[in-house]
Amino acid sequence: MAATTGTAPAPESGDLIEVFKALGNPARLQIMQWLKDPEVHFSAYEPIADRRTVGVCVTHIQAKSGLAQSTVSSYMSTLERAGLVRPTRVGKWTHYRRDEERLTQVARAIGTTL
């Protein structure tokens, strides 16, 4: 069992493997970097909702990445399963934002596990 720090439990080894798999793809890693500062990286796109609280629309991620919509949706699902992003529906659009609390837990687990 992984050691815990703070109030939230540290990710288990299996969880870390899922995180590493999700971030092992260059496009998914790039998307996570873009989502770190969505106002800067998605400024060319008119926001449908507040990027800081709701996230970035899949349509905008798709446009910026140049990938097919189905590929972006698959990539975002992978990041969501790994717990790295959170989806929010706004009308017919799905928006994603980073789960900063989870990312902090993962960073802490890497520091204590590896």
Ordered mean pLDDT values, 10 residues apiece, the chain (114 residues): 47 83 97 96 92 94 97 97 96 96 94 85
Q: How far apart are CA 15 and CA 48, in angstroms?
A: 32
Match domain 13-113 to its CATH number in 3.40.605.10, 1.10.10.10, 2.40.240.10, 2.60.15.10. Answer: 1.10.10.10
What is the pLDDT at residue 6?
A: 47
Structural domain boundaries in the chain: 13-113
Q: How far, CA to CA in Å, does 35 sit from each of 2, 30, 53?
A: 28, 9, 12
Quick one: pLDDT at residue 14?
Answer: 74
Distance (Å, whole) CA 107 – CA 40: 24
Rounded distance between C-alpha atoms, residue 1 and residue 42, angstroms? 40
pTM, two decimal places: 0.85
- Do residues 78 and 22 make contact, with C-beta atoms less than 8 angstroms apart? yes
Q: What is the pLDDT of residue 2?
A: 43
